[in-house]
Chains A and B, each alone.
Chain A
Amino acid sequence: MYDKIIIAEDLGSINEGILQLAKKLQIEEIDQVQYCEEAYLKIKKAFQEQQPYQLLITDLSFKTDYRPQQINSGKELITKLKEEHPELKIIAYSIEDRKAKIEQLLKKGIEAYVCKDRNGLVELEEAITQTANNKTYLSPQIQKIIATKADFEIEEYDIYLLNNLAEGLSQDAISKQLKAKNISPNSLSSVEKRVSKLKIHLGAKNTYQLIALSKDIGLI
């Protein structure tokens, strides 16, 4: 378990929650800051004094300070720190659940991403434990978001398949036609796979409904 951690969080109530959690986990030294710049300076100082923090728990968005700051967001803080001190472990703890944003942070090398949620604190506890054991952690809903493909982008190939199905051709016949036209993939199995994928993405129970839906939204 960690001995010395720092929490960057500008909301008092959340701060209190994390503090209680850290105490429960018997972490000796817990520092709290309200601005990312302050966090950065404290962390740098600790490294210089050779008593470095082992973990940073940080929010992503902060209230703007009355003083102009060089570091204005959790993302900037993470970027700078991971460049200068990759050994410092970082848990991002935020309301943000947009896939692209989270993926960017993961690329910077953060160890865990916890969604501020109803189960946020429970998940944060898990994240602290896991990262202390050199593992990574993602909140379950974040895992789901990362796993899902953003949306389904339909291709000319799909339109071709749909058009032929609408004209009453069997999948076998379509496969043969594709071969004749030298369009690949053209095996029966790949045609079948593609058609079932289309059914999933368009929410169709069978081929008939697939065609009906395609017509409804003007795909064919």
Chain B
Amino acid sequence: MKVLVILLYLGSCFSLGAQPPSTSDSLPYYTQKINTSSNNEELLAAFRYLKTKQLEDERRQLNLAQVYNLIYMARVQQKIGLLTESEATATQALQLVEQLKTTPTKTAYQNTLYNHLGKIYKEMGMLTQARYFYKKTLAKASPKQQAILLNNLGNTYREQQQDSMAIAYYTQAIALSEKNKNLENIARSTDNLGYTLRFSEPKNALVHLNKALELRKELASKEGLFTSYIHLGEFYQLQQQPEQAQQYFQQAQQIASQFQNLKYKESALKKLVSLTEMPLVKNYLRVKDSLDRLNEKAESNYLAIQFQLQKTEREAALLQVEKEKESQKTFLFQLIGILVFILALAIFAYLKIKHRKEKIEEVFSTESRIAKKIHDEVANDIYYLMAKLQNSTYQKEDTLDRLEDIYHTSRNISRENKSFPTQENFTEVLQEMLSHYQTQTIKIITKNLSAIDWEHTSVLKKATLYRIIQELFTNMKKHSEASLVLLDFQQKGKKLVINYTDNGKGSDLKKKNGLVNTESRIRAIKGSITFETEINKGFKVQIIC
């Protein structure tokens, strides 16, 4: 019966398959082997090749190629009887197919796989599942394929002795094949129909069997004829007509001798031998059948073990590669992490040192400025006073006057370096400061000072402006001989623009002592300061911050 099964499916074998998406030199060779060879060694070689190619395609994420590989791998597994593995491979392929875009190729692959699964389940004796997949294929198949599928469905019912269902499917298959005039399919289904009818309607059965035989003779299809002869032989054997049966079995044997495959010869001979009534022969045949089954099982077990072994070896190797990759990756990440951390530390340290350095520099410059002031303005005056006092004619009132001057000078130094009052109304703070520069001869005019929104100006900005303006006015008082100063405030968007103008004698020296400080101060708040002066043309400063 096994030979028969193989023959029945030959027609449906790979007519559904699509073209390989990419071809390498060995691929057609191996797929050809898979389609034709029944040599286990060759099949295994083909399988190994495909497996390697599959891993490569997986790495390169070539889904179409992967599906193609998997289909052939499943086919090898089926051929050497590893049905469960074949099922798994086909399912994997089917999952990949699902991810493809809908194209005729996708449909073709799907059909191939459904059909394959149908065959697998049939071989496993899971006929209901087999029928499920055949029916699934049926929907999208071509009329020719549909005829084959209907025939196969019939076979599943026949195997379960549901002859009426089987007959119905065969009849459908014949009708469809007649419609598209496929003689081979008509012959196959007619033969199957006749064979099924051999118990219930022997006369009708013979008509169909003979019809199929005639068709196959016309087609000169060896496999078809072989099947027909075997079926007819069995029919006559059932009808207790051993001579007729023997004739047909002998004809089958003749055809079998033309095949390379010994299995055909064996099954024809077996049929012939089964006709003898000798109890010894019958006994022998029973024993041999059992033995064959055991051998078959042992062989497939051996293959399964070999498969499994290869699979685990490969998986272990793959796992190792993955692990190495992973650890390399981890190491790289750690390295990057450490580098980033070190870099961050370095930047942090650099900024901190820079900041500290700037701070120290600022403190140092402030200290030296104050020291210089005390020396120039206080110590000198006191020295002068002491010198005067040594001259006894110096009057008490004069001494007191000079002392008061010195007192005021020192108080002003203290005030200039006092911390900036942050909590108070900045307009008043500025007015207060300006009022100290206002004298009988120096008039100070402000414009828009009280219109500026000081409350929403940052403390740092205010403190900086305070110091810069103070510096400008100190400079004015010392050097300019100005009689009039205008301080004009303007809010331009987010920026504050302050224009200082005096009518003093100006200078050609643009940056004197204190004014250098104003530049570093304004830079700290990302603002700018511009000086504009010429001798006898007054002094102009623009602050933008």
Contacts and interface: CB of A to CB of B under 8 A. Distances in A.
B404 A118 contact: yes
Contacts of B445: 151-154, 201-202, 217, 219
Nearest to B433: A98
Interface string B412-447: 000000000000110011011011001001011111
A180 B78 CA distance: 110
A202 B407 contact: no
B415 to A, nearest CB: 8
B485 interface: yes
Contact of B407 (A118, A151, A203, A218): A118
B503 interface: yes
B538 A99 contact: no
Given A100-B424, A153-B450, A217 B501 contact: yes
A41 interface: no
A183 interface: no
Contacts of B447: 153-154, 219
Query: Chain B's interface: helix, strand, loop or mixed, by majority?
Result: mixed
A213 to B, nearest CB: 5
A17 to B, nearest CB: 15
A106 interface: no
Nearest to A153: B446
B502 interface: yes
A150 B434 contact: yes
Interface in A123-166: 145, 148, 150-154
B332 interface: no
A213 B484 CA distance: 8
Contacts of A219: 445, 447, 486
Interface string B222-264: 0000000000000000000000000000000000000000000
A100 B501 contact: no
A194 B424 CA distance: 31
Interface string A194-219: 00000001110000000001001111
A95 interface: yes
B499 interface: yes
B411 interface: yes
Contacts of B304: none
B443 A150 contact: no
Nearest to A99: B432
Nearest to B436: A98
Contacts of A151: 431, 434-435, 438, 444-446
Nearest to A101: B432
Instruction: Give the contact-size bracket for chain B.
Output: 20 to 34
B486 A217 contact: yes
A217 B411 contact: no
Contacts of B501: 216-218
A217 B538 contact: yes
A45 B242 CA distance: 142
Contacts of A100: 424-425, 428-429, 432
Given A100-B432, A118-B404, A213-B484, A203 B499 contact: no
B400 interface: yes
B393 to A, nearest CB: 22
A195 to B, nearest CB: 15
Interface in B468-485: 483-485
Contacts of B483: 203, 213
B449 interface: yes
A50 B2 CA distance: 127
Nearest to B401: A118
Given A95-B411, A100-B432, A150-B432, A203 B441 contact: yes
A152 B503 contact: no
Contacts of A145: 435
Interface centre among B400, B432, B441, B488 (most CB of A within 10 A): B432
B443 A99 contact: no
A170 B424 CA distance: 43
Interface string A87-115: 00000000100111000000000000000
16 contacts: A100-B425, A100-B429, A150-B428, A150-B431, A151-B434, A151-B438, A152-B444, A153-B446, A154-B446, A154-B447, A201-B445, A213-B483, A216-B503, A216-B538, A217-B445, A218-B488
Interface of A: 95, 98-100, 117-118, 145, 148, 150-154, 201-203, 213, 216-219
Question: Which 3 residue pairs spanning A and B have beta carbons closest together?
Answer: A150-B431, A216-B503, A217-B486
